[in-house]
């Protein structure tokens, strides 16, 4: 049989059986509430309309306590006279015993006597008002409550109904053309889409449709965007929901929603199911990762069964899932047959960043100064969302400045805003603090100019930023790098320590301004020792491992406590050595430091070109570009009818006044 016992037709939360059951329960609840209502009304009636004896009635007539009486068949209703002190006036009734003198007694006592005229409809109207109207009112209220629960939780008794959004025929408005920088990921997903469109050409060779693909990568790299592009390209039903949509406070609701989701998907196959942030329900059942949650485990077990269980019917249903925590997912979820492919959506390289910037800037007006390649080079490590934000920030800056187009300066300023925050114009540094910050930042730049493997300086500023920095030195890499040598890492450490070294040398004092520099330098040095095998003392031993690589990248020690103590000692020793190197470089270039720092105090911001020009002028180092121009101008070409004589006159030859003459 196709259906198992746990998923029979009409036994799910979305079927007619559940709707009938909910209707019956609603009717029963209405009747119960009505009976309780009538019982309460009866108690209230007894409190304000009390029965008395006929003797008490005659006594009240004689004492003049009665205002009026209503004579009914077999019953007398009595309305007593009210007093100003009474909160409410109760009424009384007694039986009519056929007293012939009663009428005369009432008239003598000047009591109003009334008797209802016989009306056939009177009793019907009273019955309708007393019984039918309250019953209908209670039913309407219960129906409205039922409707409100249905909208918020899939039905008052059907909280297990799936609330996945369904997209059909390019409903998202996004295609693969809108996704840049992730060509490999697009190719993998494009194959799956083609499989859904043309299953025969794959079946002819014996290939089977992949069950699912897991999109893995850091936040902001475009995992959800890729899923939207798949929805736009697939032209098949596309179910989209988040992992948290399965989880409720009631145990079993998540599993019920999984069953309902896959039932809908099977009825509309071929189709695609996309589960964003699948780690919300797919965490390992191991207690290490927070196992023991009955609701989440039941949901995960149901998902495993639906994807590739004994009674699986997932033919034509492809599952896409996204997460940035693949390390916490259950191993049973990751095996082939459930998620056949793991698509890595990593941080884009230089080529990818250029493509992403072009996609996000295609609708933005830009002037001729814009160089996308330079912006891409300056944003190493940025993800797609960062780059999109930079383009948008640049456009906003252009509008604020009253310009119609975005310039290169706007883009670089946007890069700085994303990295360091906006300028804090209301924070004014004191004269002494300004000098300290200036020497600190120039100290960083001076190290980069003095060391071989350092990236060139792009900008130096002492303008405070909203993210806490009082100034910063921006470096621009010469080229995209995927590996770093030991020498390059050591250069980075010395560069980070250059600011503190400049403070120490110039002012014979240190400040708190180097806290972030020390933190980053220590992190690099510690990774060199524990992860990269760049320590003579420990050698090539992996002493740390990285957890949550796509999130915080926190390193966890895999060694004994005494080894950890030795690591700390080694870090402290090496850090002291690097700091001494930084101090020596600062002392050797003290003149350069003083002049450039004073210039920075005056200008507050200088470019990398200004800095390197001043550095070479003070150090009397010739400009390589000028040397190249000079060499080009000293190159001469000799040509005659038979031969071509070419000779390049170098700088050294010019000292000897070498002259090349051309003879015909």
Spatial strand order in the sheet of 605-607: 472-475, 457-461, 605-607
Do residues 358 and 411 lie in contact, with contact meaning Cβ atoms separated by under 8 Å? no
State both tokens at 617.
């002028």
Half-sphere exposure (CA, 13 Å, Cβ side) for 495? 23
Do residues 482 and 488 lie in contact, with contact meaning Cβ atoms separated by under 8 Å? no
- Angle CA(214)–CA(217)–CA(223) in degrees, nearest 5? 65
State both tokens at 4.
């198992």
Contacts of 196 (CB under 8 A, 6+ apart): 209, 234, 236, 270, 272, 316, 318
Three-state SS letters, 351-420: HHHHHHHHHHHCCCCECCCCCHHHHHHHCCCCCHHHHHHHHHHHHHHHHHCCCCCECHHHHHHHHHHHHH
Does residue 50 sit in helix, strand or coil? strand
- Round to whole Å and give the CA distance between 229 and 324: 19
Residues labelled catalytic: 441
Three-state SS letters, 139-156: HHHHHHHHHHHHHHHCCC
- Round to whole Å and give the CA distance between 30 and 135: 8
Half-sphere exposure (CA, 13 Å, Cβ side) for 301? 11
State both tokens at 183.
């060509």
Q: Which of 297, 332, 203, 212 has the alpha carbon at shortest distance from 262?
A: 212
Does residue 79 sit in helix, strand or coil? strand
Contacts of 532 (CB under 8 A, 6+ apart): 486, 489
State both tokens at 440.
């600190």
DSSP tag of 283: B
DSSP tag of 452: T
* Count of other CB atoms within 10 angstroms of residue 184: 11
Q: Which of 452, 433, 448, 439 has the alpha carbon at shortest distance from 590?
A: 439
Which string of DSSP letters, residue by residue, matches 576-599? HHHHHHHHHHHHHTHHHHHHHHHH
* Count of other CB atoms within 10 angstroms of residue 537: 11
- Round to whole Å and give the CA distance between 82 and 89: 6
Q: Quickly tell me which residue has 């780690």 as its tokens.
A: 279
Which string of DSSP letters, residue by residue, matches 597-639? HHHHHHHSEEEHHHHHHHHHHHHTPPPHHHHHHHHHHTEEEEE
* Count of other CB atoms within 10 angstroms of residue 404: 8
DSSP tag of 316: T
Q: Quickly tell me which residue has 């493997």 as its tokens.
A: 453
Please name every residue paired with 552 in a beta bridge, in sequence order, or none if there are none. none
> What is the dihedral angle through the alpha carbons of 264, 270, 271, 273, rounded to the nearest 10 degrees?
80
């Amino acid at each position: 049989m196709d259906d198992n016992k746990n998923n029979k037709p009409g036994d799910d939360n979305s079927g007619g059986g559940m709707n009938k059951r909910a209707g019956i329960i609603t009717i029963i609840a209405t009747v119960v509430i009505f009976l309780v209502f009538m019982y309460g009304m009866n108690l209230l009636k007894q409190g304000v309309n009390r029965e008395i004896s006929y003797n008490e009635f005659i006594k009240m007539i004689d004492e003049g306590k009665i205002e009026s009486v209503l004579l009914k068949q077999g019953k007398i209703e009595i309305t007593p006279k009210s007093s100003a002190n009474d909160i409410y006036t109760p009424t009384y009734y007694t039986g009519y015993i056929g007293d012939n003198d009663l009428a005369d007694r009432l008239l003598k006592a000047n009591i109003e006597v009334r008797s209802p005229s016989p009306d056939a409809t009177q009793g019907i109207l009273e019955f309708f008002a007393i019984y039918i109207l309250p019953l209908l009112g209670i039913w309407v209220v219960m129906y409205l409550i039922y409707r409100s629960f249905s909208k918020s939780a899939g039905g008052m008794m059907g909280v297990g109904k799936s609330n996945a959004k369904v997209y059909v025929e390019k409903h998202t408005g996004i295609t693969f053309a809108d996704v840049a920088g992730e060509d490999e990921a697009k190719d993998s997903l494009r194959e799956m889409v083609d499989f859904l469109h043309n299953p025969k050409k794959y079946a002819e060779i014996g290939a089977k449709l992949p069950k699912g693909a897991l999109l893995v990568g850091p936040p902001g790299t475009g995992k959800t965007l890729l899923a939207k592009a798949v929805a736009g390209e697939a032209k098949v039903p596309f179910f989209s929901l988040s992992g948290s949509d399965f989880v409720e406070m009631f145990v079993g609701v998540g599993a019920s929603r999984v069953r309902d989701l896959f039932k809908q998907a099977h009825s509309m196959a071929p189709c695609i199911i996309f589960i964003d942030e699948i780690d919300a329900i797919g965490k390992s059942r191991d207690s290490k990762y927070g196992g023991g949650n009955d609701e989440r485990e039941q949901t995960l077990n149901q998902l495993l069964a639906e994807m590739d269980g004994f009674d699986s019917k997932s033919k034509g249903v492809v599952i896409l899932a996204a997460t940035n925590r693949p390390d916490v997912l259950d191993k049973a979820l990751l095996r082939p047959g459930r998620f056949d492919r793991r698509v890595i959506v990593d941080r884009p390289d230089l080529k990818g960043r250029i493509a992403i910037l072009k996609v996000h800037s295609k609708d933005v007006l830009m002037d001729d100064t814009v160089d996308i390649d330079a912006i891409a080079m300056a944003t190493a490590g940025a993800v797609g969302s960062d780059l999109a934000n930079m383009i948008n920030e640049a456009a906003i800056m252009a509008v604020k400045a009253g310009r119609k187009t975005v310039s290169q300066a706007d883009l670089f300023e946007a890069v700085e805003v994303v990295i360091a925050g906006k300028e804090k114009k209301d924070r004014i540094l004191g004269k002494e603090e300004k000098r300290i910050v200036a020497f600190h930042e120039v100290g960083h730049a001076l190290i980069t100019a003095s060391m071989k493997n350092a990236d060139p300086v792009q900008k130096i500023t002492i303008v405070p930023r909203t993210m806490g920095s009082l100034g910063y030195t921006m470096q621009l890499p010469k080229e995209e790098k995927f590996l770093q040598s030991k020498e390059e890492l050591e250069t980075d450490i010395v560069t980070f320590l250059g600011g503190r070294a400049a403070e120490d040398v110039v002012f014979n004092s240190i400040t708190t301004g180097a806290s972030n520099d020390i933190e980053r330098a220590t992190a690099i040095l510690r990774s060199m020792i524990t992860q990269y095998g760049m320590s003579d003392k420990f050698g090539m031993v992996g002493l740390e491992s990285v957890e949550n690589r796509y999130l915080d990248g926190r390193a966890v020690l895999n060694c004994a406590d005494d080894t950890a103590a030795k690591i700390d000692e080694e870090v402290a020793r090496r850090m002291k050595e690097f700091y001494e190197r930084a101090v020596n470089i600062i002392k050797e270039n003290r003149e350069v430091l003083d002049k450039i720092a004073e210039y920075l105090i005056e200008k507050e911001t200088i470019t990398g070109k200004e800095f390197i020009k001043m550095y070479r002028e003070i150090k009397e180092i010739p400009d390589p570009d000028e040397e190249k121009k000079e060499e080009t101008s000293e190159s001469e070409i000799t040509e005659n009818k038979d031969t071509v004589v070419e000779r390049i006159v170098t700088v050294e030859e010019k000292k000897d006044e070498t002259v090349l003459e051309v003879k015909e």
